[in-house]
Chain A
Amino acid sequence: MNTMEKNLLAEIADIHEVPEGAYNIRLNGESQGRNTTANIDIISKADKDGIDIIVKPGTKHESLHIPVIVARSGLTDLVYNDFYIGEDADVTIVAGCGIHNCGDQDAGHDGIHTFHIGKGAKVKYIEKHIGEGDGNGHNIMNPTTIIEMDDDSYMEMDTSQIKGIDSTNRITKGKLGDRATLVIHEKLMTHGSQYAGTDFSVDLDGEDSSANVISRSVAKEHSVQKFVSVINGNNRCSGHTECDAIIMDDAKVTAIPELTAANIDAALIHEAAIGKIAGEQLIKLMTLGLTEEEAEEQIVNGFLK
């Protein structure tokens, strides 16, 4: 790996040297390194690009890193990764994709991630998307995350896309069993003429299942964002979805909530707020000695922190 690729790896997955625990590093469509542990196995798929990750039941406090780097213009990398999380396991999974595109052709990564989370298992899933490079080609990412949660399982998903991705359609689907809990935090920033579409859909099928989907985004310049959040309450359950967006310059943000309660004890809430930075926030920080531009930067960074 060259320095650029290493830097990108550090940014998306916080990996500086060889990571601890299990990992699979993918560079330009090929595996660059893999490590399995006694409890976490990684197997290449035979029929298509991608891996099966098998976490043994009862695995505690282990981590898995599966970063992807695309550093070649014209390459679109499509992978299918399936995660089988055993009962009562407790793991942290760090995914992430960095694209460095210096050429004139588009570069992309489409990751289809499917989680099968066993009874009582706990997963923290961190996903970071970054694009860079000064070529004319577009950086494109279309991640799909499918989450199937068995009874009493818990999943927290932190997904962020802060810069450099020209076009993205992010699809996340969840299906929850009894007492399962899904928490999703999304952070998004778009600029230039980028487009980011986010599509969440959660089926609260299990009794006392719950979902909390929180999106914070900043849209700058001419960029366009569309946030769709669907929660179906099919049992006694609770669901909450929140879209909070700061709009700047000539950007455009659309938020579309869709709540369906199909059970008398389904409690579903949607909140959406889109607006520019409040003038009084800028003034407050200016009275502390910041310029208007510095104040704006602090507010945006804090909002997406």
Chain B
Amino acid sequence: MLELKNITYEVEDNKEILRDVNLTVDDRFVAITGPNGGGKSTLAKIIAGIVTPSSGQILLDGVDITGMTITERAKLGISYAFQQPVRFKGLTVKDLLTLAAGKDTTVTEACAILSEVGLCARDYVNREVNASLSGGELKRIEIAMIIARGTKLSIFDEPEAGIDLWSFNSLIKVFENMYEQNKGSILIISHQERILNIADKIVVVADGRIRETGSKDEILPKLLSGMEYGTCDALK
């Protein structure tokens, strides 16, 4: 279980990106949604240890991890899929899956994971994760790394970003399968109705604050009816 207590993140000139965020993730599948620039990605980075909050506390299964490094948190069981995956000259898909799994990964094992994310394994396993891969391919490999880790908390930052609609349809199945097979929790930042629709809990973040938290049956109809969570009053 992940708990965020009074998380605030300020940047220069006292500008608050996140303000007094309190959140408990004890459900299997939690979706965070809300307008762009509202602080969702920052929140994910704070959980993974990439961004240090100005104040507040983060607990994972009751252990205070606020002062822990990215590596320490990863070892405790937090995985984080980047919104914009990183390219590596020279490292292959299999290399990254091996590093993610933390043990030697056979070609068969790597292929099984790649198939799960809809990549034809034989074509990809020895490819370099460099600029020759498309954005959609990189996203799938990013997700494959999270599957290879199989940790208790997997965070995905807008997995749909940069993926065409056709590919996105098959991506939904990836998350449905993860939900069924993985025993851990999934925390996913998304704007996609179809992802929100498979969530146990939806959290709406806007203007650096949590605006609403509830089951998808409570939140989704409000979102779909066009309720405004925007950051600019003039647009409301």
Give the B-binding residues of A (Cβ under 8 A).
216, 244, 278, 280-281, 283-292, 298-299, 301-305
**Across-interface contacts of A283 in B (CB, < 8 A):** 50, 70, 86
Shortest distance in angstroms between A253's beta carbon and chain B's nearest beta carbon?
Answer: 16
Contacting A298 at CB < 8 Å: which of B70, B71, B91?
B91
Partner of A290, one of B48, B71, B90: B71
Decide yes or no whether B178 CB sits under 8 A from chain A.
no
Q: Which residues of B from 117 to 157 have beta carbons under 8 Å from A?
A: 145, 149
Given A298-B99, A302-B95, answer yes or no on A287-B70 (Cβ-Cβ < 8 Å).
yes
Q: How far is the CB of B73 from chain A (nearest CB, A)?
A: 8
Query: Taking the complex as formed, is B33 at the interface, i.e. its CB lies under 8 A from any CB of chain A?
Result: no
Q: What are 19 A-B interface contacts by the 8 Å CB criterion? A: A216-B90, A278-B86, A283-B50, A284-B86, A286-B70, A287-B48, A287-B70, A287-B74, A287-B79, A287-B80, A291-B71, A298-B99, A299-B91, A302-B89, A302-B91, A302-B92, A302-B95, A303-B89, A305-B90
C-alpha gap A290/B95 in the complex (Å): 13
Q: Is the CB of B50 within 8 A of A289?
A: no
Is B71 in contact with A286, judged by CB distance below 8 angstroms?
Answer: yes
Does B229 have its Cβ within 8 Å of any Cβ on chain A?
Answer: no
Tell me the B residues contacting A by CB distance below 8 Å.
Answer: 48, 50, 69-71, 74-75, 78-80, 82, 85-86, 88-92, 95-96, 99-100, 102, 145, 149
With contacts A287-B79, A288-B74, A290-B71 known, what are 12 further pairs, Cβ within 8 A?
A: A283-B70, A287-B70, A287-B78, A287-B80, A288-B102, A298-B95, A298-B99, A299-B88, A299-B90, A299-B91, A304-B90, A305-B90
B90 pairs with A289, CB closer than 8 A: no
Residues of A within 8 A of B92 (CB): 302
For B90, give its contact among A286, A288, A302 (CB under 8 Å): A302
Which residue of chain A has its CB nearest to the CB of B76?
A289
Distance between Cα atoms of A303 and B88 in the complex (Å): 8
Q: Check B86–A289 contact: CB distance below 8 A.
A: no
Do B86 and A280 touch across chains, with their CB atoms under 8 A apart?
Answer: yes
Choose one: A278, A280, A288, A302; the contact of B149 (CB below 8 Å).
A288
Interchain residue pairs A-B with the least CB separation, the first 5: A302-B90, A302-B91, A289-B74, A286-B70, A303-B90
B99 contacts A285, CB within 8 Å? yes
Bound complex: CA A268 to CA B85 (Å):
32
Chain B nearest Cβ from A271, distance in angstroms: 12
* CB of B180, distance to nearest CB on chain A (Å): 24
CA distance in complex: A72, B38 (Å) = 67
A287 to B75, CA, bound (A): 9
Chain B contacts for A281, CB-based, 8 A: 86, 88
Question: Which residue of chain A is the closest to B129 with respect to CB atoms?
Answer: A302
Contact B69 A286, beta carbon cutoff 8 Å: yes
Report chain B residues within 8 Å CB of A303: 89-90
Across-interface contacts of B50 in A (CB, < 8 A):
283, 287
- Bound together, the chains give a CA A305 to CA B90 distance in angstroms of 6
For residue A303, which residue of chain B has the nearest CB? B90
Give every chain A residue within 8 A of B90 (Cβ-Cβ): 216, 299, 301-305
Closest Cβ of chain B to A99, distance in Å, is: 27
Which residues on the B side are within 8 Å of A292 (C-beta)?
Answer: 71
Task: Find chain A residues with CB under 8 A from B79 CB.
Answer: 287-288
The answer to whether A289 and B95 touch across the interface, beta carbons within 8 angstroms, is no
| B162: min CB distance to chain A, Å | 16
In the bound complex, what is the Cα–Cα distance between A274 and B83 (angstroms)?
Answer: 26
Question: A302, B71: Cβ atoms under 8 Å?
Answer: no
Instruction: Report the minimal beta-carbon distance from B145 to chain A, rounded to whole angstroms.
Output: 7
B82 lies within 8 A of A284 (CB): yes
CB distance from A218 to the nearest CB of B (A): 11
